[in-house]
């Protein structure tokens, strides 16, 4: 029953049909200049007729370079797919590269190692790592040292190139915005504690409060989900002096919005809420959410550019791209009003 699918046509089949040597076909394939136009046409015709497509494995084998970009990323329930957000595949393809993905369900040294091995086996030309936890940056140490590498949203330093949004600046702007509206202090619901973004947003928020001479209350612990935001929101609703919340991301802000509403607190009249991320939805929360917009597109583009430069250069090197996030003011924030209860 198991039919042998015939191997696809090779460069030799094309050569035979076109009555030239395999090398000439190879030259046509690689756009070498010194091929007579008529020969080129003849070969092209044979290629089309056979439906020939070059075998990238053979090519990789002989050249030692693979035109595959490896992507290591998370595959966890709480979080959306990261690589599509950054448009990684599209950009790679524009430069003639394939993308092979390795995902992590947990971020441990062992799982990082497994992902790296998986990509190493494919002799990828370079790697993009989108694993925004501190553990990931450590694990980078185990990588083949010369291999081109860019970390998206990872810790800068250690000779590794990074492309990231300035999380601290974003969190600072969000907090300042609330302070400018006259809020005495700003409460914070943080994301998963081992994420880079969580730490950076906390310090941006702390920094803004400190600069205004306010004390930072203890952040509430969330896990990026709306559910955790909801629970934090129920907690916050018990605090009489609550007037402003900075949520670690928009999903949690959504949960907070619901919890406050259930507890009879109006946003923004009683409490102002700011989120972080901004996709297509937050502008249509009820009320539309003031949030910090991250420019994933630019980060993705620069990351790929940096990686390709390293590949062209034949070596890894440190470089740092930082994108400035933008505060998007919508209806979930307003000046404090005198008294709340």
**Scanning residues 139 to 168, which ones bind a second copy (CB under 8 A)?**
144, 146-147
Q: Which is nearer to a second copy, 240 or 314 (CB)?
A: 314
From CA 40, how far away is CA 44, in angstroms rounded? Answer: 6
Binding part of the chain for DNA, among 24-32, 165-173, 193-201, 330-338 by CB under 7 A, reads 24-32
Q: Is 29 near DNA (CB under 7 A)?
A: yes
Binding part of the chain for a second copy, among 61-69, 154-162, 171-179, 199-207 by CB under 8 A, reads 61-69
Q: Is 96 near DNA (CB under 7 A)?
A: no
User: Exposed/middle/buried for 29, CB within 10 Å: 0-12, 13-18, 19+?
Assistant: middle
Strand partners, 149: 127
* Binder of a second copy out of 288, 295, 305, 319 (CB under 8 A): 288
Taking CB under 7 A as the rule, which mask of x and - marks residues 35-74 in contact with DNA? Answer: xx-xx------------x-xx--xx-xxxx----------
CB of 124 to DNA, least distance (A): 15
Total binding residues toward a second copy, as defined by CB under 8 A: 68
Residue 21 interface partner, choices a second copy, DNA, none, CB cut-off 5-8 Å depending on type? DNA
Helix axes 11-18, 22-29, angle to 10 degrees: 110
Q: Which is nearer to a second copy, 93 or 320 (CB)?
A: 93
Strand partners, 273: 245
Q: Name the residue among 288, 221, 226 with its Cα closest to residue 253.
A: 226
Q: Which is nearer to DNA, 36 or 341 (CB)?
A: 36
β strands within 112-232, DSSP E: 126-130, 149-152, 161-165, 187-190, 220-221
**What SS3 string covers 263-325?**
CCCCCCCCCEEECCECCCCHHHCCCCCEEEECCHHHHHHHHHHHHHHHHHHCCCCCCEEEECC
From CA 249, how far away is CA 238, in angstroms rounded? Answer: 21
Cα three-residue angle 219-174-153, rounded to 5 degrees? 80
Contact of 274 with 250, CB cutoff 8 Å: no
Q: Is 24 near DNA (CB under 7 A)?
A: yes
Contact of 127 with 68, CB cutoff 8 Å: no
Q: Which is nearer to a second copy, 100 or 193 (CB)?
A: 100
Q: Where on the chain is the footprint of a second copy (CB under 8 A)? A: 1-5, 7-8, 53-58, 60-61, 64, 66, 68, 75, 77-78, 80-85, 87, 89-90, 93, 98-103, 105, 117-118, 120-123, 144, 146-147, 225-227, 229-230, 251, 254-255, 257-258, 261, 280-281, 283-286, 288, 313-315
Q: Where on the chain is the footprint of DNA (CB under 7 A)? A: 7-8, 10-12, 20-24, 26-27, 29-30, 33-36, 38-39, 52, 54-55, 58-59, 61-64
């Amino acid at each position: 029953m198991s039919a042998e699918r015939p191997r696809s046509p090779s460069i030799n089949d094309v050569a035979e049909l076109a009555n030239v040597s395999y090398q000439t076909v190879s030259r046509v394939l690689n756009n070498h200049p010194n091929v007579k136009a008529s020969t080129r046409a003849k070969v092209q015709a044979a290629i089309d007729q056979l439906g020939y497509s070059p075998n990238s494995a053979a090519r990789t084998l002989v050249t030692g370079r693979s035109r595959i970009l490896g992507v290591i990323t998370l595959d966890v329930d709480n979080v959306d797919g990261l690589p599509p957000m950054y448009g990684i595949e599209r950009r790679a393809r524009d430069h003639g590269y394939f993308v092979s993905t390795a995902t992590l369900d947990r971020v441990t040294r062992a799982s990082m190692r497994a992902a790296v091995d998986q990509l190493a086996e494919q002799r990828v030309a370079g790697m993009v790592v989108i694993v925004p936890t501190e553990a990931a940056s450590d694990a980078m140490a185990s990588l083949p040292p010369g291999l081109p590498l860019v970390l998206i949203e990872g810790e800068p330093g250690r000779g590794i190139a990074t492309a990231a949004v300035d999380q601290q600046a974003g969190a600072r702007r969000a907090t300042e915005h609330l302070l400018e509206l006259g809020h005495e202090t700003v409460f914070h619901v943080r994301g998963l504690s081992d994420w880079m973004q969580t730490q950076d947003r906390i310090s941006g928020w702390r920094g803004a409060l400190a600069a205004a001479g306010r004390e930072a209350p203890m952040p509430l612990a969330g896990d990026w989900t709306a559910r955790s935001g909801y629970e934090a929101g129920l907690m916050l609703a018990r605090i009489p002096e609550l007037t402003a919340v900075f949520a670690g991301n928009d999903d949690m802000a959504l949960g907070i919005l619901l919890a406050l509403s259930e507890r009879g607190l109006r946003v923004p009249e009683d409490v102002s809420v700011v989120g972080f991320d901004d996709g297509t939805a937050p502008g249509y929360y009820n009320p539309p959410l003031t949030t910090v917009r991250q420019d994933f597109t630019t980060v993705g583009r620069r990351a790929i550019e940096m990686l390709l430069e390293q590949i062209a250069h034949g070596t890894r090197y440190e470089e740092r791209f930082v994108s400035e996030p933008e505060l998007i003011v919508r209806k979930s924030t307003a000046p404090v009003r005198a008294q709340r209860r």
